[in-house]
Chains A and B, each alone.
Chain A
Amino acid sequence: MTHEELQEIARKEKERQQGFRRKVHVCMAAACLSQRSDQVKAGIEARLKEKNLEGGCHVKGVGCMGLCAAGPLVSVEPDGTLYQNVRPSDETTDTADIVDGLDSAPVPRLQLDPNLPFFKAQTKIVLENSGKIDPESIEDYITQSGYEALLKAITSMTSAEVIDQVSKSGLRGRGGAGYPTGLKWSTVSKAGNGGMKYVICNADEGDPGAFMDRSVLESDPQRVLEGMAIAAYAVGASRGYIYVRAEYPLAIKRLKTAIKQAEKLGLLGDKIGESNFSFHIDIRLGAGAFVCGEETALIASVEGKRGQPRSRPPYPAQQGLWGAPTLINNVETFANVPPIIRNGGQWYASIGTEKSKGTKVFALAGRVTNTGLIEVPMGMTLRDIIFKLGGGIPGGRRFKAAQTGGPSGGCVPEQFLDMPVDYESLAKVGSIMGSGGLIVMDDSSCMVDVAKFFMDFCQSESCGKCVPCRVGTVHMHNLLEKITHGKATAGDLELLESLCDSVKATSLCGLGQTAPNPVLSTLLYFRDEYLQHIREQKCSAGVCATIDHSAETAEVKA
């Protein structure tokens, strides 16, 4: 495949699509599919056929449009009309009405304003194709400059130049830790002595409350493959693995299709772009172990073993998969690479804050009106994310905290709402950026209970290899249980705090080292709630069921 051939594919596909007067896009990502968007699509197609309109109108299944709360979503191009909560034809006349309105007026009862801040305040780089292209068509991806970056890298750049652009872009690992991507690539490229090297894409999105990677894989799988191939070229690898959760069947299916299509066009496989660069990608399925998000555990799992981490160094960059130098990046990190190579590192570095460049995809969930997927420039304030894009807290309730970083992160309270969201600022207030799960909590959540929830998660996900994590998480969970049952003493709280310190300091891997974070951050900002549980056996949120709710009942009576 040469650059000209690629452009020819893009031209042909564009021409085919321009032949249609109207294009109807139906979201076919997991959230909308679960609301039967596949049948919405079928309904629209049937109606078009009925009215003999198929020639001029094209129905396309696309990836995630973002606003999962209002799904299934349908958009009509070129007018940009957006429809929400569209029901299939066995329930309502929605699909027929949409088709009937294609050439006349849109259907007001289903319309969703595309100028809402939720859509307008986003800056899309990773998600630029999501909701626009058919994730199962490589041609559609190519019309959006797909694989241009890969061919550009292979044919006109040296691997050092590729790494240089990635370094200049300031891109940092989107899996959570924020390690500079360019630096990681450069380490792997220098490692080894000419033998085998591997590139692994970490798609084991285990954080509860995070679904960015699932959405990217379901909406734009080719982009992840292209990012991996560019990385492989840069570091000198010839084999890649995508380690994806078995819990994401749709993402796996679309990845498999994408790999096949790319291989067929010679964009993956041997001698890509008629060069000497070869790169093959295989899929490896996870099997439900959170710890496999840790890179050394992930490597063990790809090797078919129990996913237990080992101590570092040696880092995977030196000794990874089967002992060979291995580059591991997260899905979103790889998805950022093609536009960086296309537009240059400088361009990417112009977005974001001083130390956190570019954009970040967040999965907005919990007690917020517009749940869904958003991509915003680094440095946007939490207030803007939750209240402007997210539409605020439903039901007239009061914002209490935003949880970021999953079981390794913390809860950010109200006083930091105006803080810019980037790696440094979140770390300063005791949380982490994490992979992008952002769970909003209102006053109906008890923070002690939330800490207990995460500790329950960590104790059952602990791999059992090191004592501090295996034993410590169980004890911390027991203490939290005691507190929520109103049976704890002040001494228990002291013990909990000292356990947090030792587990944090002595665990083998990131899981144990960060397991105390949810407790520490809630203790820091919501200590009153802990004390209320201990001293007064009360839970003001009314969550901890076995203890006295007299305060709440009194309020109801009044």
Chain B
Amino acid sequence: MQVYQAVTPPSEDKRWRIVEGTMRRHGRQPDSLIEVLHTVQESFGYLDNQSLEFVARSLRLPYSKVFGVATFYHFFSLKPKGFHTCVVCTGTACYIKGSPALLKSVEQEAHIKPSETTPDNQVSLLTARCIGSCGLAPAVVFDGEISGKVQPEDMAKRMRRWLHHDA
């Protein structure tokens, strides 16, 4: 029988305990990889090399497989996000009702394109395939809160506020 050998977390950070908790709950089964990656991203905001290596060793999976899974799914991010995040829904209903104009408005105000972060790390712009709030199209998620029927001016205003550090 294979005896489980404890793998030390990359740092003393207490958030690793949350990750450990998820792994324990799933009995460190290799098939819990996606669940564990979700927990890491929830706790740390993104997945870096160090955490992927830790997860690989803990679940006894090759690093290549963990990296493969982390890069396959759009939900996982290998780069840290800015202080604020703005997710523009680009689903069909939002597209028809003007999400391209919203992206343009962010580009004009903050000079970033989707999946980019401003140089001062204040704002990250992301897009979602559909957040299921089609009744409110076009929809944007500002720091985790859904806003519906967003106009380009609202977007520009929000960007200015965020970029001038008075959010």
The answer on a CB contact under 8 Å between B134 and A406 is: no
The answer on a CB contact under 8 Å between B132 and A30 is: yes
Does B73 reach chain A (CB closer than 8 Å)?
yes
9 extra A-B contacts, CB within 8 A, seeds A206-B130, A304-B33: A33-B146, A34-B146, A68-B133, A214-B132, A247-B132, A288-B129, A365-B93, A365-B137, A437-B134
The answer on a CB contact under 8 Å between B135 and A210 is: no
Chain B residues near A182: list those with CB within 8 A: none
The answer on a CB contact under 8 Å between B72 and A306 is: yes
In the complex, A301→B148 CA distance in Å?
31
Q: Which among A54-62, A119-127, A279-287 touches the partner chain?
A: A279-287
Chain B residues near A31: list those with CB within 8 A: 133, 135-136, 148
Q: For the complex of A and B, list the 5 residue pairs with the smallest distance between their C-beta atoms, beginning with the closest.
A: A68-B135, A287-B73, A288-B75, A208-B91, A209-B92
Chain B residues near A258: list those with CB within 8 A: none
Complex partner residue of A287 from B37, B132, B145, CB under 8 angstroms: B37
The answer on a CB contact under 8 Å between A287 and B76 is: yes
CB distance from B43 to the nearest CB of A (A): 14
A304 in contact with B34 given A209-B91, A209-B130, A288-B74 (CB within 8 Å): yes
Chain A residues near B131: list those with CB within 8 A: 247
The answer on a CB contact under 8 Å between B38 and A287 is: yes
Does B69 reach chain A (CB closer than 8 Å)?
yes
The answer on a CB contact under 8 Å between A247 and B75 is: yes
Does B31 reach chain A (CB closer than 8 Å)?
yes
Complex partner residue of B74 from A289, A306, A373, CB under 8 angstroms: A289
Does A453 reach chain B (CB closer than 8 Å)?
yes
The answer on a CB contact under 8 Å between A453 and B92 is: yes
Chain B residues near A307: list those with CB within 8 A: 72-73
Complex partner residue of B75 from A69, A286, A305, CB under 8 angstroms: A286
The answer on a CB contact under 8 Å between A247 and B128 is: yes
Does B68 reach chain A (CB closer than 8 Å)?
yes
The answer on a CB contact under 8 Å between A403 and B33 is: no
In the complex, A406→B73 CA distance in Å?
20
* A-B contact list, 24 entries, CB within 8 Å: A30-B146, A34-B136, A34-B139, A34-B146, A68-B136, A71-B135, A208-B92, A209-B93, A209-B130, A209-B134, A210-B130, A284-B34, A287-B34, A287-B74, A288-B73, A288-B76, A306-B68, A308-B72, A365-B92, A366-B92, A366-B97, A437-B92, A453-B95, A461-B129
The answer on a CB contact under 8 Å between A445 and B96 is: yes
A439 in contact with B92 given A248-B132, A304-B33 (CB within 8 Å): yes
In the complex, A9→B90 CA distance in Å?
45
In the complex, A285→B40 CA distance in Å?
14
The answer on a CB contact under 8 Å between B34 and A403 is: no
CB distance from A305 to the nearest CB of B (A): 7
CB distance from A432 to the nearest CB of B (A): 15
Interface string of B63-102 (1 = CB under 8 A from A): 0010011001111100000000000001111011100000
The answer on a CB contact under 8 Å between B38 and A305 is: no
Closest-by-CB residue of B relative to A301 is: B34
The answer on a CB contact under 8 Å between B93 and A206 is: no
The answer on a CB contact under 8 Å between B133 and A208 is: no
Chain A residues near B147: list those with CB within 8 A: 34
In the complex, A305→B136 CA distance in Å?
34
Does B45 reach chain A (CB closer than 8 Å)?
no
Please indicate which of the listed interface residues B29, B75, B90 has the most CB atoms of chain A within 10 Å of its own CB. B75
Does A330 reach chain B (CB closer than 8 Å)?
no
Complex partner residue of B90 from A208, A306, A365, A445, CB under 8 angstroms: A208
Within 8 A of A (CB), among B142-167: 145-148
Does B30 reach chain A (CB closer than 8 Å)?
yes
Chain A residues near B91: list those with CB within 8 A: 208-209
The answer on a CB contact under 8 Å between B34 and A366 is: no
Does A290 reach chain B (CB closer than 8 Å)?
yes
Chain A residues near B76: list those with CB within 8 A: 287-288
Please indicate which of the listed interface residues A207, A306, A372, A445 has the most CB atoms of chain B within 10 Å of its own CB. A306
Does B50 reach chain A (CB closer than 8 Å)?
no
Does B35 reach chain A (CB closer than 8 Å)?
yes
A210 in contact with B75 given A284-B35, A305-B69 (CB within 8 Å): no
In the complex, A524→B37 CA distance in Å?
44
CB distance from B117 to the nearest CB of A (A): 19
Chain A residues near B68: list those with CB within 8 A: 306
Chain A residues near B32: list those with CB within 8 A: 304
Closest-by-CB residue of B relative to A67 is: B135
The answer on a CB contact under 8 Å between A371 and B134 is: yes
Closest-by-CB residue of A relative to B145 is: A34
Chain B residues near A373: list those with CB within 8 A: 135
Chain B residues near A463: list those with CB within 8 A: 72
Interface string of A87-118 (1 = CB under 8 A from B): 00000000000000000000000000000000
In the complex, A303→B29 CA distance in Å?
10
The answer on a CB contact under 8 Å between A306 and B69 is: yes
